Amino acid sequence: MLALAALAWLQSPTPALTEHRIANIFKPLASPAESEYQIALFSFVITGAIFVAVAGLIIYTMVRFRRRRDDDTRQEPPQVYGSNQIEAAWTVIPILIVFVLIGVTARVVASVENASPPASTVKLTLIGHQWWWEVQYPDFGVVTANEIHVPVSRDGAHTATYLQLESVDVIHSFWVPQLSGKTDLIPNRDNFLWIDPREPGVYLGNCAEYCGTQHANMLLRVIAEERSDFERWAAEQRRPAEQDGQIGEARATFESLSCVNCHTVKGTAAAGKFGPDLTHLMSRQTLGAGVLANTGANLRAWVNDPQQSKPGCFMPSMKLTDRELDQVVAYLQTLK
Amino acid sequence: MASIDYPLERPEAAPREFSFSESLYKWVATVDHKRLGLMYMVSALVFLVIAGIMASVMRLQLAVPNNHLVGPATFNRLFTMHGTTMVFLVGMPIVAGMANYLVPLMIGARDMAFPRLNAFGFWIFLFGGVLLYYSYLGGSGLSGAGSAPDVGWFAYAPLTEKAFSHGASTDFWALGVLVSGFGSIASAINVIATCVSLRCPGMTLARMPVFVWVMLVDAWLVLVVLPPLSAAQIMLLLDRFLGAHFFDTQFGGSAVLWQHMFWIFGHPEVYILIFPAFGTLSEVIPIFARKPIFGRPAMVGAVVAIGFISLGVWAHHMFAIGMTSWSNTFFAAASMLVGVPTGIKIFNWTATMYGGKIRFAVSMMFCCGFLLQFLVAGLTGIMLAIAPFDWQLHDSYFVVAHFHFTLIGGLVFGVFAGIYYWFPKVTGKMLSETLGKWHFWLFCIGFNLTFIPLHFAGMLGMPRRIYTYAAGRGWESWNTIATIGVFFQIAGIACFAWNVIQSVRSGKAAGDDPWDAWTLEWATTSPPPEYNFEKLPVVRSSRPLWDLKHPQDPDWKYD
């Protein structure tokens, strides 16, 4: 009975995850973003109060002490040179406010940076490339690109994902606002970051450090799903590409082209490291690090000439003939 | 005290007309601090227009999602050249230009201490600027890659290394900025020497106008922080030409080292840029409120304190590089502390107005705009100093909005206040107050319309330096409003340009002292003669002309 239910559940299509397209930092859905949101609110209260008080004083002064039409212009107002008491007051009060802010800042910095990982932790390595993200899960033997799958954290089963951040070329920066603030991916330096999304969903982010021509289209998705879904996804990703006998010719065409110099398809001759791993390309939502939705038409357009949708990116148009293009696209579409 | 008598040449009775080549020669060969100051200011305004046009193109590109007005390569060059130009070819010459023109006049000197060094500084600055812009023609280099630099004004390594930046564009950036920096250093040395050695009799440091004090501290800052940038640029050139590996991460170099060297210059730099505005407000507000500056010693002390503290805050630009929690906290604390002396300045300016009889001439309106907008900039600065909040805001449009509030809402408004205030002294003609009011309101509305919405785009996750964005991420409306604001700003600047042209041609004669002011520059003619003062003035207080005008109640009684 239970097995049957499980089977039925397994076969039912996974419900579509909510896509959080608007990455509002004031709608945090993970602990680091939550702490940052709390301290942001605190800073709004303090700076808001200062603004109202000081702007009010300035505007009051401007209005109250404007020169009137009937003023005698030869008569100068009383010449006041200063006041030690008043000046001491507006030196000491800001110092006190600053000390409060420093204390709160120190506490939140430590709580985010020095948090110790919970028992159930997923580790992954995120590697920045000019203009895409390589994602490695060493514990699962999975390599993918541009979309990070992580388990969702539940009350009572706190799960966090630890990201080791690296770069192969220039500096990039991880920023998925609803999950966490930024940490840079710097060549020759290992950085760390953790996230624990509380709701399943797709969270959008961008590379946040200028990294060259296509910085704008170095988009990132974090797909937070239930632990079981995550593990099923990881198991799927670990498999080499399926050898579909139906499309042997298409596969041969793909392997004969220079695609294989840059891309890897596990279990085939394609073992390039320069571009994203394509072993399970069709399981991804987007192409070109988020620049296009992963549809058949877009895939064909992308393979035909990536420079159309992402000018300046390092994948050239290979000038394939229509027939080659059809076969390559047909083959890529089997990489589920 | 007796005044010092110099044998003086009298001015020619009727100045004869000069031919074009004669007057060109007079300008090119001049060592007069006023002509050099003017040339600095005019170059700055020309570069301001160029970089402003670049900004307008970028705003048009970002007005709607998926726009194809310019491509990524062009856009990246635009923001690199916009930032580099605004900082090094607009902000820096404004510092040098205002100091050059006003410091000798305000301290009763006949010129700067080193007139020929002064001319060298201007021409090397201009050469640096031209060199940078020549990259549009020559940047492609032998390898045929690139044109103008596209590495951002901060030029983060290793993006600037040969492996990622082909052609010569980055070399033009490094060399252009490097040599224009020599000009800034020359000018800083000159300002310091002038303030130290050429003050007129009776002008003790305590009596020096606040503007001059601010420019003195500014010059010290330039002298301390520009060399690290020059060093970093030389190291970068060594990397690119001689195979050194300072920042070349592929050979074990450090990307973070560049950031330290850049920001130990780069953060004090923003104070260097804003100081002329601080100085201007400290002169203009008292005159239009008809009261002496409130708390003079505190105002000077605050500037010195800002100068010192600013040397210890640079890594708040680097909260996202993964520093330890101790470093993050230290730099957050230091950055917030800058708010204290800055607050003192805002309070003291307000207190100067308090109890006065404020005359809202255009210059004063710009000062009031400065006060309110700079307050906003200061408070968003506090938010950015809170490291955890900065992890969200860093490199987002919130930061773009924040520093444009300081540099336009602050610096540019302050400089306009200064231009409306000192234009009569420089040209002998008044600017039109009516056109000036149009200028103020159009520019003020346009500026706020452009930059208030960008705070919100940033808080919705919009990163900086992107040439386009997809629809549906909540950024469209904010960006569209921001672009609409640009048209108001352009209209405001057009009013200003027209005002200047009209006034130079046929403005009302200004007279020596149109604002009934109190500092020495108003004691000479408008425009001042080449030697500034026939007789060196002798002063007994910080408001020498007040003393003259109110012999029954002079300031020196209270000093």
Which SS3 state, helix, strand or coil, does residue A153 take? coil
At residue A76, φ and ψ (nearest 5 deg) are: -80, 150
Determine the pLDDT at residue B141: 66
Residues making up chain A, counted from first to last: 336
Q: Does B26 touch chain A (CB under 8 A)?
A: no
Domain boundaries, chain B: 27-557
Average pLDDT, chain A: 91
Q: Is the pLDDT of residue A9 over 50?
A: no
CA–CA separation, B527 and A292 (whole Å): 63
CA–CA separation, A138 and B516 (whole Å): 76
- Bridge partners of A144, per DSSP, are A135
Report the residue from B249, B295, B468 with minimal CB separation from A87.
B295
Chain-chain contact of A47 with B379 (C-beta, under 8 angstroms):
yes
Determine the pLDDT at residue B17: 77
Class of domain A245-332: mainly beta
Mean pLDDT of B215-238: 97
Report the half-sphere exposure of B214 (CA within 13 A, side-chain side).
27
Q: Which residue has 């708010």 as its token pair?
A: B339
Q: pLDDT digit string (tens) for A70-82? A: 877 778 899 999 9
At residue A207, φ and ψ (nearest 5 deg) are: -65, 130
Q: With respect to CATH, is domain A120-238 assigned 3.30.413.10?
A: no
CA–CA separation, B33 and B549 (whole Å): 28
Determine the pLDDT at residue A222: 97
Determine the pLDDT at residue B145: 63
CA–CA separation, B68 and B65 (whole Å): 9
CA–CA separation, B44 and B91 (whole Å): 7
Residues making up chain B, counted from first to last: 559
**Cα three-residue angle B468-B470-B472, rounded to 5 degrees:** 140
User: Pick from B480, B405, B410, B489: which is nearest to B442 by CA?
Assistant: B489
Residue B120 CB-density burial (10 A; 0-12 exposed, 13-18 middle, 19+ buried): middle
Locate the chain A residue with the closest alpha carbon to B71: A311
Architecture of domain B27-557: Up-down Bundle (1.20)
Mean pLDDT of A236-246: 85
Inter-helix orientation angle B255-289/B325-353, to 10°: 10
User: Pick from A287, A147, A278: which is nearest to A224 by CA?
Assistant: A147
Q: Is the pLDDT of residue B447 over 90?
A: yes
Q: pLDDT digit string (tens) for A212-233? A: 999 999 999 999 999 999 999 9
Q: pLDDT digit string (tens) for B39-89? A: 999 999 999 999 999 999 999 999 999 999 999 999 999 999 999 999 999
Report the residue from B150, B163, B255 with minimal CB separation from A171.
B255
Answer for the pair B438, B363: CB distance below 8 angstroms, yes or no. no
Mean pLDDT of A249-275: 93
Helix (H) or strand (E) holding B399: helix B397-404
Q: What is the DSSP letter of A217?
A: G
Residue spans of alpha helices (H) in B161-291: 169-197, 210-242, 255-289
Q: pLDDT digit string (tens) for B523-546? A: 999 999 999 999 999 999 999 999
Which SS3 state, helix, strand or coil, does residue A104 take? helix
Walk across the sheet containing A120-129 and list its strands.
A142-145, A132-137, A120-129, A159-167, A191-195
Determine the pLDDT at residue B4: 47
C-beta atoms surrounding A168 within 10 Å: 16
Distance (Å) from the C-alpha of residue A148 to the closest C-alpha of chain B?
A: 18
Locate the chain A residue with the closest alpha carbon to B350: A58
C-alpha B426: how far from chain center: 19
What is the β-pairing status of strands A191-195 and A159-167?
Answer: antiparallel
C-alpha A81: how far from chain center: 55
CA–CA separation, A64 and A326 (whole Å): 77
Report the residue from B249, B371, B392 with minimal CB separation from A188.
B249
Task: Give the C-alpha distances (Å, rounded to integers) separating B508 from A172, B271, B288, B523.
Answer: 57, 36, 20, 19
Mean pLDDT of B295-308: 96
Answer for the pair A181, A32: CB distance below 8 angstroms, yes or no. yes
Tokens of B89: 């070819």
Determine the pLDDT at residue A218: 97
- Within 8 A by CB and 6+ apart from A274, the residues are A261, A262, A263, A314
Task: Give the C-alpha distances (Å, rounded to integers) separating B119 from B34, B39, B108, B179, B220.
Answer: 11, 10, 21, 14, 20
Determine the pLDDT at residue B247: 96
C-alpha B206: how far from chain center: 25
- Bridge partners of A167, per DSSP, are A128
Task: Give the C-alpha distances (Å, rounded to integers) separating A256 from A240, A279, B532.
Answer: 19, 17, 81
Determine the pLDDT at residue B6: 47
pTM, full prediction: 0.94
Locate the chain B residue with the closest alpha carbon to A60: B354
Q: Is the pLDDT of residue B295 over 90?
A: yes
Q: Does B141 touch chain A (CB under 8 A)?
A: no
Domain boundaries, chain A: 120-238, 245-332
| Chain A residues inside the 8 Å CB shell of B254 | 188
Q: pLDDT digit string (tens) for B357-405? A: 999 999 999 999 999 999 999 999 999 999 999 999 999 999 999 999 9
Distance (Å) from the C-alpha of residue A109 to the closest C-alpha of chain B?
A: 6
Note whether A120-238 and A245-332 share their fold: yes
Q: pLDDT digit string (tens) for B456-477? A: 999 999 999 999 999 999 999 9
User: Pick from B481, B485, B486, B432: which is nearest to B457 by CA?
Assistant: B481
Pick from B383, B391, B440, B518 the residue to mutate for testing the A interface (most A CBs within 10 Å).
Answer: B391
